[in-house]
Structure 1
Amino acid sequence: MTVLSSIFFLLSACEQESSTEIQTSDESASVREILELPDHMPTPAVPDFNPLTNAKIQLGRFLFYDEKLSANQAQSCSSCHDQSLAFSDGVAQPLGSTGHQLVRNSQGLANVIYHTTFTWSNNSFLELEDQLNVPIRADNPIELGVTDAKLNEVLLRFEQDEEYLALFAAAFPDEDDTISMNKIIFSLASFVRSMISASSPYDQYLAGDKTALTEQQIAGYQLFNGEKFECFHCHSGINFSSSYRDANTASDATEFPFFNNGLYNVGGDGSYPEEDQGLYDASLDPADKGLFRPQSLRNIELTAPYMHDGSIATLREVIEHYARGGSLTESGVNAGDGKNSPLKSALILGFDATDEEIEAVIAFLESLTDEEFITSPKFSNPFEE
C-alpha cells in the first residue's frame, strides 16, 4: 500500500466515526481539537468559507511537498519552506522554479493563522487563500509558475492520479469530483493553518515551568518588553507580532500594521531599493515607501537571514540595526542612512545597549525555538515516510 493509499484509508475510517467539519455549535472547541492547541494559545480565526477538517489538512500536506504542483515539476512549496528551518529556507532571496530571482526573503510559516494580513507588504491579502494565489499562479516573478497557460496541464496530473482523487474526495465530500485550483488552495491553506508552534521553552515557561527559561533569557525578555529596546511595540502578544487576530478579535478592532524600520533611505527621501519598496508598490502612495508587516518572531533563531530582503545575517546585527536607529548603506545605488529617513517609524529611535544586554535579548529570542515543531511528523514530508 502506498503512502497516499494508507493516508486515505485512515481518513476514511475517521470519517466513518465522526465528521471533522466545523459545523457544530461549539466551533471553538472543534478548532482547538483539530489544531491540538495548548491552553495558553488562543483559538485562531478560521474563515467560514473554508472550515478546517483533518481531511483537508492531510491533502494540503501532500500538495505542499509535491513538485507536481509546479508547472515544470521542479519545485514544491517546501522548496522555499523547509520544516527544519521553521519553514523558511536559509537564503536571502530564493529562486523560482524556472530560475527567476525573487526579491523577498522566504518567511517562516509558524503560527501564520494568527496574522491579519499575509506576505511582507500587502494590505489586501486578508486570508491565506488570497496569498497562496501569488506563489502558485503569478508570472512576474515566476515561483511555481501555474499560469493560465499551464493550469489545465497541472490539474490533469492530479486528475490522473487515483490516490489523489481519493484524497480530494475525502477533503471535499459535499462537492463534485472535479479537481480545481480552488480546492488545491483551500487544502494548502488548511495545512498551513495547522502549523502551530507552541512548545518552545518560552511556551513551557508560560505553561508553568519556571525552570524552562534561564536567568539570562528572563533578563532578555524583560529588556524585550522594556522601554529601552521597545521590541514589544511591533512584536507583541503570543505570536510576537502586532499583525494579530484570533477568534475573539472584533472586526472593528483588527489592526493592519506596517512599519518603515529605517533599513534604507535611498536618495535621502525615505525610498527603499527600486525592486521592492514595500506597501508603496501596491498603494503608490509615497508615504508607504518602506512599509512592511512586522513578522512573528517564533523560531526566529532558525529563519536567518533577516528583513524583507534577507539583507541582515544575524540576530545580533538586527539588534544593532535598531540600536543605531536605522542602517547605513555607505555606497552604491541604494546609498543612504536609514537613521535619517523622513519616513521611518517614530518607534525606531535608537538606544545604547551593552554587549551583555544584547546577548540577553538574543538568548530570549532563542527561547522561542520550538524543537517539536521542526521535527513533528504532522508537518513532515509524507513522501519520505
Structure 2
Amino acid sequence: MNIVKQLALCLVLMSVSLLLVSCRQPAPADNAADWHWHLPEGMPLPRLPPENPMSQAKVTLGRYLFYDTQLSANGSQSCASCHQQQFAFAEPRTRSVGSTGQQHRRNALALVNVAYNNTLTWAHDGLTEIEQQLLIPLFSDDPVELGLNGNQAEILQRLTRPPYPQLFQQAFASPEPQMQQVVLALASFVRSLLSFQSDFDRYAYQQDDAALTDVQLEGMNLFFSERLECHHCHGGFNFTQATSHSSQPLDLRPFHNTGLYFTARPELATPGYPQQDRGLAEISMNPADDGRFRAPTLRNIALTAPYMHDGSIATLEQVVDFYAAGGRFIDKGEYAGDGRQHPIKSQFVQGFALSPSERAAVLAFLHSLTDWHFVTDPDHSDPWPVLQQPDSLPQP
C-alpha cells in the first residue's frame, strides 16, 4: 500500500469513526443479560468494549446483516461472500474479490474465535477492536469491498424492509436503522462465532483421552516441541499469539516475518517483501517490520486453504514443508529470491527435519483442530432462506 492509499484509508476510518462516536447509543441494558458464552469449563471470557455489550438480539440482527447482499452498494455481495461458513468463515480463493470485481491483495482471514483477537487483519497493529476493523470492508475505497462510502443513506433505506424493523427494535429499542447500530450488530455476530468442539477440544477440555489417536498425539507433541517451535507463534488455547482475554493482562503483538519472500525491489536499494504488500512495515513505516504479518489461528486450519497472507501456498502439506525448509526459495519469476535469507526472518523459523511418519503425524494433529459443528451450526448459517418459509419470524 503506497502512502496515498494509506492516507486515504486513514481518512475514511477517521470520518466514519467520528460518525460512530457522534451517534453511538448503547444497547438497551435489559438485552445484555440474555447472552451466554458457550465456552469450555475454565475458558476465560473475551474482552468486550463497554459501548457494545453482547445481547442475543444484536447477534440475531448481525447475522441477518452479515448474510445480506443489500449491505453492499451494488447489491452483489455480503460479508459472507468472502467469509463462508463451510470454510470456517474464510474462502477458497488466493485473494479476495470485492463487490465491484476488484481483486484484493490479501487472502480472507477465517473468522474463528475473533472475540479473543487483540489485533485484526493481517498486518495492522492499530486495529484492536472488531468495531474498528469492520469500517474497512464497509467503507474502504481502495480496494472497494462492500462500497458503502457515499452510499450510507441508500443502504439504511434498504434496511427498513422486513424483517429489519423488528430486529432493530429488539436490539436497539427503535425500528429505525442507524449506521453505528449496523456496525455494533455485525461486531456482535462476529464475536459469537466460537469454535471449541474439535477433537482436540474434547481431549484437552473434556478429558476425553480417546478423542485423539496415537498418531495425532504424536503430532501434538511435535507441534509443542522446541524442535519444531510451532507453539511460539501459534500457542495458547486459540493457537495464535494474537489473543487477549479477561484473564490475560499481557497484550502481545503477533507479527512475524516467516521468510516467504526476499526479492529484488527496483524501487528500493534493498531486497525484501514485494512492494505491493510489505506487511506491518506499511503501517509502522519501519523497515524492520518488512514482511511481518499476524500469525492467524490454527483452529479449523485444514478448512481454510490456500494459506499465507496472499494465498500463495496451496495446501496444508505445503505449509508444513515450507516451515520445515525454514522459509521459501523462489528460483525464477517476478518474486525470485531466497526468503530463508531475509535478515529479519523470525528466530522461530529455522527449519527442521521430519521423517515421513512424523510429517503425517503433524498433519493429523492439525486436522484434529477442525470443529465440524462450527462449520455446520445453524445458528451461524444464512438466515434468509429460513425467512422465506411461511409464518417464519426472526427471534432474538
Give the TM-score normalised by structure 2.
Answer: 0.87
Q: Which residue of 2 aligns with 1:249?
A: 248
- Output aligned runs, 1:335-346, within 5 Å: 335-346=336-347
Q: Which whole-Å CA distance do the structure 2 matches of 1:163 and 1:325 have between them? A: 52
Instruction: State the AA in 2 paired with 1:36.
Output: H
With 33-42 and 341-350 compared, the bigger mean Cα shift is at 33-42
Task: Tell me the SS of whatever aligns to 1:374.
Answer: coil
Q: Is the 8 A contact 2:62 2:188 kept in 1?
A: yes
Higher mean displacement: 215-224 or 326-335: 326-335
1:69 and 2:85 equivalent? no
Summarize deviations over 1:182-225 as a string: whole Å, max 9, x none: 11111000000000000000011111110000000000000000
Q: What is the distance in 2 between the residues matched to 1:382 and 1:55?
A: 14
Identify the residue that residue 315 of structure 2 maps to in structure 1. 314
CA distance in 2, matches of 1:40, 1:354: 37
Q: Distance in 2 between matches of 1:224 and 1:57?
A: 35
Does 2:32 correspond to 1:21? yes
Equivalence for 1:12: none
Amino acid in the other structure paired with 1:45 = R
Aligned match of 1:171: 171
Asked whether the equivalents of residues 164 and 175 of structure 2 are also in contact (C-alpha less than 8 Å), the reply is no
Q: Which amino acid aligns with 2:370?
A: T
How many Å separate the matches in 2 of 1:270 and 1:119? 25
Name the residue aligned to 2:18: none
Is 1:334 the counterpart of 2:329? The answer is no
User: Could you tell me which amino acid in structure 2 is paired with residue 267 of structure 1?
Assistant: A
Q: Are the counterparts in 1 of residues 140 and 147 from structure 2 also a CA contact under 8 Å? A: yes
Query: Does the Cα contact within 8 Å between 1:117 and 1:123 map onto a contact in 2?
Result: yes
Offset, 1:267: 2.0
Contact 1:68 1:76 (C-alpha < 8 Å) held by counterparts: yes
Following superposition, the deviation at residue 367 of structure 1 comes to 0.2
Q: Residues 154-233 of structure 1: matches in 2 within 5 Å? A: 154-159=155-160, 161-173=161-173, 177-206=175-204, 207-233=206-232
Cα deviations across residues 141-175 of structure 1 (Å, max 9, x unaligned)?
A: 1011111x21211111113x1421221121112xx
Partners in 2 of 1:345 and 1:151 — Cα distance?
A: 43
C-alpha distance in structure 2 between counterparts of 1:55 and 1:262, whole Å: 45
Counterpart in the other structure of 1:109: 111
Q: What displacement does 1:40 show?
A: 4.5
In the alignment, what sits opposite 2:261?
264
Cα distance in 1 for residues equivalent to 2:248 and 2:172 = 29
Quote the residue 1:351 is aligned against.
352
Could you tell me how far apart the structure 2 residues matched to 1:200 and 1:338 are? 34
Corresponding residue for residue 280 of structure 2: 279
* Larger helix fraction of residues: 1
Aligned to 2:43: 41
**Could you say which residue in structure 2 is the equivalent of 1:130?**
132
SS of residue matched to 2:36 = helix
How far apart are the structure 2 equivalents of 1:377 and 1:345? 40
Match of 2:89 among 87, 90, 99: 87
State the Cα distance separating 1:350 from its structure 2 match. Answer: 1.0
1:38 shift after superposition: 2.2
Distance 2:304 2:254 in 1: 21
- Check conservation: 1:61, 1:188, Cα contact below 8 A: yes
| Deviation >4 Å, runs of 4+ | none
Instruction: Provide structure 2 residue ranges, at least 5 long, that are not aligned to the other structure.
Output: 1-26, 387-396
Match of 1:98 in 2: 100
Give me the CA root mean square deviation: 1.7
Moved more, 344-353 or 264-273: 264-273
Q: Which residue of 1 aligns with 2:12?
A: none
Among all aligned residue pairs of Structure 1 and Structure 2, give the percentage whose two residues are the same amino acid.
Answer: 44
Map residues 294-309 of structure 1 onto 2, 5 A cutoff: 294-309=295-310
1:266 maps to a residue whose letter is T
Contact 1:270-1:290 within 8 A present in 2 as well: no
TM-score, normalization by structure 1: 0.89
- Shift of residue 270, structure 1, vs aligned partner: 5.3
Q: 1:255 deviation in Å?
A: 1.1
> Between Structure 1 and Structure 2, how many residues are aligned?
355
Cα 1:135/1:46, change in 2 over 3 Å: same
- Secondary structure in structure 1 of the residue aligned to 2:57: helix
CA contact 1:279–1:290 (8 Å) conserved in 2: yes
Give yes or no for contact 2:259–2:328 (8 Å, CA) kept in 1.
Answer: yes
Q: CA deviation at 1:20?
A: 3.5
Instruction: Give the partner amino acid of 1:259.
Output: H
Amino acid at match of 1:118: L
